[in-house]
Structure 1
């Protein structure tokens, strides 16, 4: 009976990214350009991998999946953020917030799992090259990709169901520029104990678990590379995993800082800047990192964009 006396929140007010209105126009243009770069760059990578047979390898199969995840992750946050940058009242509906929360968290989890699978792919390629074709066959790669997407989606869906059982009766100010679990749970007027337990388990399994597995893979890779006698052999081996290692370093450095930093209010602005890094900057850089030093990717992109220079 008490539940019926509550007024259910139908929309949330976003605090936004910046407190100074005169900066909104500049940052709208900047973020619109970066968002366009994310969509264009990652779409080019996907199309290049699909149309160019030399890129039909396990590594590029997972890179195409990563590019798709980056598009989903950025698209779940940026359109609404851009809209709020030019609106006086920065709001998002309850349903829109839940949808954003689901797409963002599922893509974030899927990306963590993909990076781990890609580190395993590099481990097999460098440490067990004679068994690579067998251990990373087409069937195994498809199963790994399906499992990664399924785990990311199901895990996020479970947490969304736990959020939907909560009461939101005010206040409705989200102290961020998009919906995240911690900021949403802080607004609930019912117990969030179960939600916090599930979030903790997800952090342990997804963040720490994948970080440890990735670290283990690269530890074995480094040991194997150091055993190679010729300097050219070492350079060739390191080149095959350098792009992925750079992406992993970029991604984990921002996410670990975001979720392990103290939650005091004076760090909120820094937290927003780091969130921009892993929702916008990293997805922008990923296709550049994977294409700049790869001749085959450049050849494939020139097929799509014949006006590009050699």
Structure 2
């Protein structure tokens, strides 16, 4: 009830008639007043949308993307349908601007919407409704757009664009996070911080669509969502090294496998799982002394890893002899 009164009060302040909530706002659509960026990496073709807001779970409303199609950020008095509908319009052959125009043409709440659409070729179209809560605005650049509303001041979007352009040597995920950091550094959301999200999809769809969503990270509720989102991205990078190590093991390239596992462990030295599977791989490759050296502190810190180890031979994940298994399980 309080939420409905808050929404009605905002709509009245924006000059909309009392009947407008039935047209503009649906109970399923959040008030994602926020700042965001959509961007395409000209080198890889990958597409990203990143966002921070003082609203719970902002990534479930603002961020939309499909490999080989494009990305959408829909915010302010959010019309979540703009996400899937915008992507469908791009997929049907519409340009980013045509897709945006069509979405807005049938939306009675266009004046309180903010939305940006980027296609797989880097074309971008952005709209900031004239009744979005101040401070609100956007800036288009080469294959990217930054947009913000309900900001502390009107420097946010320019700061985002500058940061994105000046960090061209960074990988796309880190580059869009630099834009979000710049927004927060100059004031950000007037209400503060709560959630953030990062979505990256391939610029071209692959034969394995389940692998085309390269990064999908969300911080649903945090006093410092951007630092936490960056930590999650770093953890994602560490597990990329773990996956590369597993692939090297499959190819019997143990030198490369050890290199990749060590890179992951260096990034997150307190993560026992990374060390554990490194050790199990060494044991399976007849490098038991090295495996035992890694396993000893793991078992000491968390005994349940020893319990798990006893279960691995049954499913073929640990292929040591019975004597070697006893040596592992009795490790002090």
TM-score band by shorter chain is: under 0.3
**Which one scores higher on RCO, CA 8 angstroms, separation ≥ 6?**
1
Pick the structure with more helix per residue: 1
Larger Rg, first or second structure (1 or 2): 2
> Normalising by structure 1, what TM-score?
0.22
Pick the structure with more strand per residue: 2
